[in-house]
Amino acid sequence: MTRSRNPTEQAIINGLQGGFPLTRQPFRDAGAELGLSEGEIIDAIGGLLEAGRISRFGPLWNAERLGGAVCLCAMAVPPRRIDAVADIVNAHPEVAHNYERAHELNMWFVISAEKPALVAGVIAQIEAETGLKVYPMPKTREFFVGFRVDV
């Protein structure tokens, strides 16, 4: 069964992927660009988060430019444990972008930490909590790929 699409939700998701106003009243200004009031856009974003239609709403910081570090990591998780391990991994505030893959290394996630030395600490904690090896894959070269998903 296909869920009907809400035009307001679609307008917000599609309209805000390219940026968010950096003004004194950003929700008012973002809403005005989309034909919505400040309250409507705040309520709609809250509803999207609460319903799990979006996983987060907020800025993407360039941790490295701020003196921190980012590291792609992978794990080989027994299929029967994938949900439990995902919950453990995702409980770390430094973890984002956690995905299951059809591969021996079937869980991939990104650690973004305030200081480079903290990445190793988060990895060690995840290994201790799960009993599984984390394979860090630090970035050696950066590529920018614009990505946008219209709904």
Do 112 and 76 reside in the same domain of the chain?
yes
**How many structural domains is the chain composed of?**
2
Contact 118, 71 (CB under 8 A): no
Co-location of 32 and 73 in the same domain = no
Rounded Cα gap, residues 52 and 57, in angstroms:
11
Domain assignment present for residue 79? The answer is yes
Q: Residues 43, 83: one domain?
A: no
User: Does residue 11 sit within a domain?
Assistant: yes
Residue that the structure tokens 């290394």 belong to = 105
Nearest to 27 by CA among 17, 13, 37, 14: 37
Structural domain including 99 reads 69-138
Within a domain: 42: yes
In a domain, 60, yes or no: no
128 shares a domain with 101 = yes
Does some domain include residue 117?
A: yes
Which residue positions in the chain have pLDDT lower than 70? 1-4, 67, 145-148
pLDDT for res 2? 46
Q: Kindly report the pTM of this predicted structure.
A: 0.65
pLDDT of residue 66: 75
pLDDT in tens, 38-74: 999 999 999 998 988 887 788 777 777 776 788 999 9
Report pLDDT for 137. Answer: 93
